[in-house]
């Protein structure tokens, strides 16, 4: 219950901060966002006024909403790593490492791309510079999750090996 309320409350707080920091800005001229979807950094590039203060508010909110959960996730993975290193069975340790490393890779891709978009100074990039990076966290990362979780299934692994083996045999002919 506390996690759900905290998550919703944090989302509401950051939304109010983002909205309040952009509502007072004047927007004259082109009204087309050079991005795949409407994100606050892309909206700020449309303003005809200095957006330094709004950028600082967004950066501060990013510190809170991005680095807070990321630090908790990384601490939990460090604790998991310590527990894995204490395992006596090499087989169990290898299985735990393979599971955790794939999931940690997804976390790093997700948070790394979001942090690179939302926590860089406004002067460091053009309005369209974050398009490719945003695809990573909006499209590629959600696609990776089912693939990673299904590769833990022995039947899926066997089918993948058969498919790769058939393609390799077809190329050899």
Tell me what pLDDT residue 78 has: 92
Checking if the pLDDT of 126 tops 70, the result is no
Which segments of the chain does DSSP mark as H helices, in order? 2-23, 40-44, 52-62, 68-85, 90-118, 131-135, 141-150, 154-172
Question: How many domains in the chain?
Answer: 1
Give tens-digit pLDDT for 28-84: 777 777 777 777 777 877 787 887 888 788 888 878 888 888 899 999 999 998 998
157 is in which domain, residue-wise? 2-172
Question: Which pair of tokens denotes residue 76?
Answer: 């939990």
């Amino acid at each position: 219950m506390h996690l759900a309320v905290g998550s919703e409350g944090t989302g509401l707080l950051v939304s109010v901060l983002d909205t309040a920091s952009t509502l007072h800005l004047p927007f004259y001229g082109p009204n087309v966002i050079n991005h795949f979807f409407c994100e606050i950094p892309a909206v700020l590039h449309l303003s005809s006024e200095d957006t330094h203060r709004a950028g600082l508010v967004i950066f501060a909110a990013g510190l809170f909403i991005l680095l807070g959960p990321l630090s908790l996730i990384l601490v939990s993975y460090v604790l998991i790593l310590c527990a894995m290193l204490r395992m006596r069975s090499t087989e169990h340790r290898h299985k735990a490492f393979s599971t955790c490393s794939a999931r940690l890779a997804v976390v790093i891709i997700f948070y790394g791309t979001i942090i690179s978009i939302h926590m860089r100074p406004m002067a460091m990039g053009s309005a369209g510079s974050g398009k490719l990076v945003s695809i990573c966290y909006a499209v590629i990362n959600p696609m990776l999750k089912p693939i990673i979780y299904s590769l833990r299934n022995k039947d899926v692994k066997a089918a993948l090996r058969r498919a790769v083996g058939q393609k390799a045999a077809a190329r050899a002919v």
